[in-house]
Amino acid sequence: MDSLEKIVSLCKRRGFIFPGSDVYGGFAGTWDFGPLGTTLKKNLMDAWWKFFVDDRDNIYGIDAAILMNPKTWEASGHTSTFADPLVECKECKSRFRADKIANNITESVTTEEFLDTHTKCPVCGKESWGPIRKFNMMFTTHVGAVLPDDNDELSQKSIAYLRPETAQGIFTNYKNVVDTIYPNLPFGLAQQGKAFRNEISPRDFILRDRECSQMEIEYFVAPDTWEDNFEIMRKAQHEFLEKIAGLNPSSIHEYEVPPEDRAHYSKRTIDFMFDYPNGEEELMGLAYRTDFDLSNIQKASGKSMEYRDKITKEAFIPHVIEPSIGVERLFLAVLSTAYHEDEVNGEKRIVLKLPEHLAPYKYCVSPLLKNKPELVEKAKTVYNLLRKKYGNITWDDSGNIGKRYRKQDEIGTPKCVVIDFETLENNTVTIRDRDTTEQIRKDIANL
């Protein structure tokens, strides 16, 4: 079993992540977060928000609607360019994203270039391919009471899309923010929320799915300052990934995306790659979007997107630096970094060495024996004390103390607090450290 399979197994066994619609046999490209996964995910999103929004004076939050006027996606270019290269096996009819099953090709691959790779079908093993077709990844839906009908004009006018990114919700609110709070340049607008992409072939657990959560910032800057601000954001991404998310710097690599592979709106893009258990994959992106989005909105809407400098009174359309990260990709990177196997007293141990501020539970409180009422009562007192002070605390009185430790190690709980008979005598408890397994005694008043 490789390490990715071990992480997937741990996620289901301990309640981090379940297959979507699991009771009905699943639904490809969807995943449900269980009790521990929900908390870890929220902790990650809260840490990102604190680092980029709460701790800064010039980045503000918004929360735009998922359903947006379809003109949004026409102006942004998504209806015409948001597409992946789809290829179909003539033998078994399986469909794949061409650049993900062949080596040394890009998203702009042609049919001839793909065929020259002599790639075999991952399903049937044959080399019999149809032509490459562009597959638009946006999910289509209909708004209102009109039933979908390709031949009905009214039905066609009701077409809308589930947003494929959160960025456009920021761009369409740029003017609202400038008109209401008129921030100084540079300033950023941040958003967290769901995005939907109709992936041709979802794979690799939560790395490539059809429904995900994104965290994005659009950082509006004066055109002649974009390079300096790009570098500021590049350094900030490293600081967040390494110091806040706890990722190993040696596992993070910058890839300067060549012009032919950049998104249609980008003049410079750096992909932050990460060494996942299944290989190097994109973790986040940093893009210089120029004034592409605001200029297109101005043309499509007829409303000015210019910003007037408060000092020089010069009017111009700001340029944009965009850091964007998928929560699920960050979640898996954090789990991959935290996952360890070692031995304690000759027994194999699985331990998640999560940063304490991200761990689902800060403490686990246990009575040494659950059949001793005096220990249970005292343990409940300590539990309530810690819960009031630290929030998410767990209780465990199942099995022997060794099994409890192993369980808490697997879910990443930093400290286990055990109430024993000595506690009843001197009001001290045993605190056991997850990473070192060392135990110390401490007075309850000093917890």
- As beta bridge partners, residue 276 has 279
Residue 337 CB partners (closer than 8 Å, separation 6+): 246, 247, 248, 251
Confirm whether pTM is higher than 0.85: yes
Instruction: State whether residue 215 is helix, strand or coil.
Output: strand
Which residue is listed with tokens 């973790």?
Answer: 283
| Burial (Cβ within 10 Å: 0-12, 13-18, ≥19) of residue 231 | exposed
- Cα–Cα dist 447/437, whole Å: 18
Please tell me which of 31-40, 97-106, 118-127, 153-162 the model is most confident about, judged by mean pLDDT: 31-40
pLDDT digits (tens, 9 = 90+) for 14-46: 999 999 999 999 888 899 999 999 999 999 999
Q: Is the pLDDT of residue 399 over 90?
A: no
Distance CA 35, CA 245 (A): 20
Distance CA 12, CA 5 (A): 11
Name residues whose C-beta falls within 8 Å of residue 377's C-beta, 6 or more positions apart in sequence: none
**At 347, is the pLDDT very low, low, confident or very high (cuts 50, 70, 90)?**
confident
pLDDT band of residue 75 (cuts 50, 70, 90) is: confident
Fold annotation for 361-446: Rossmann fold (3.40.50)
Let me know: does 447 contact 429? Beta carbons within 8 Å. Answer: yes
Q: Please state the rounded mean pLDDT for residues 331-343.
A: 94
State the average pLDDT for the chain. Answer: 91
pLDDT at position 367:
96
Provide the pLDDT for residue 149: 65
**pLDDT > 80? residue 315:** yes
CB atoms within 10 A of CB 52: 22
Average pLDDT over every residue of 60-79: 89
pLDDT tens column, 182-210: 999 999 999 999 999 887 777 788 888 88
- Burial category of 300 from C-beta neighbours within 10 Å (exposed 0-12, middle 13-18, buried 19 and up): middle
Residues of 313-333 as b/e, b for ≥16 C-beta within 10 angstroms?
Answer: eeebbbbbbbbbbbbbbbbbb
The answer, yes or no, to whether residue 152 has pLDDT greater than 70, is: no
Token pair in block for residue 434: 């997850």
3-state secondary structure of 322: strand
Which carries the bigger pLDDT value, residue 225 or residue 83? 225
Average pLDDT over residues 122-150: 81
H helix count then E strand count, the chain: 15, 23
Look at strands 363-367 and 347-352 and give their pairing. unpaired
Q: Which two tokens stand for residue 390?
A: 């630290």
Q: Where are the domains of the chain?
A: 3-72+167-335, 361-446
Residue 388 main-chain phi, psi, to 5 deg: -65, -35
* Residue 263, pLDDT score: 78
Burial label, 30 (beta-carbon count in 10 A; 0-12, 13-18, 19+):
middle
Neighbours of 210 (CB within 10 A): 19
**E-strand stretches of 173-210:** 187-196
Q: Residue 82's pLDDT is what? A: 66
CA distances for 28 relative to 2, 71, 85, 96, 211, angstroms: 22, 30, 19, 14, 10
What number is the average pLDDT over the span 385-412?
93
Using the predicted structure, report yes or no on whether residue 1 has a pLDDT greater than 60. Answer: no
pLDDT of residue 346: 80
**Other CB atoms closer than 10 Å to residue 76's CB: what's the count?**
25
| DSSP single-letter state for residue 99 | H
Q: Partners of 443 in the beta sheet?
A: 428
DSSP letter (8 states) at residue 400: -
- Quick check: 218 and 320 in contact, CB under 8 A? yes
pLDDT of amino acid 155: 58
CATH of span 3-72+167-335: 3.30.930.10
Residue type, 400: N
Sorting pLDDT into bands at 50, 70 and 90, what band is 147?
low
Asked whether the predicted pLDDT for residue 407 surpasses 50, the reply is: yes
User: Of residues 158 and 139, which shows the higher confidence score?
Assistant: 139
H or E segment and range at residue 39: helix 35-49
pLDDT above 60 (res 353): yes
The mean pLDDT of 209-226, rounded to a whole number, is: 95
Coil, strand or helix: which one is 61? strand
Instruction: Provide, rounded to the nearest whole percent, the portion of the chain with pLDDT above 70.
Output: 96
CB 365 within 8 A of CB 392: no
**At residue 153, does pLDDT exceed 70?**
no
Element spanning 11, H or E: helix 3-14
Q: Of 89-103, 229-243, 392-406, where does mean pLDDT reach its minimum?
A: 89-103
CB 304 within 8 A of CB 298: yes
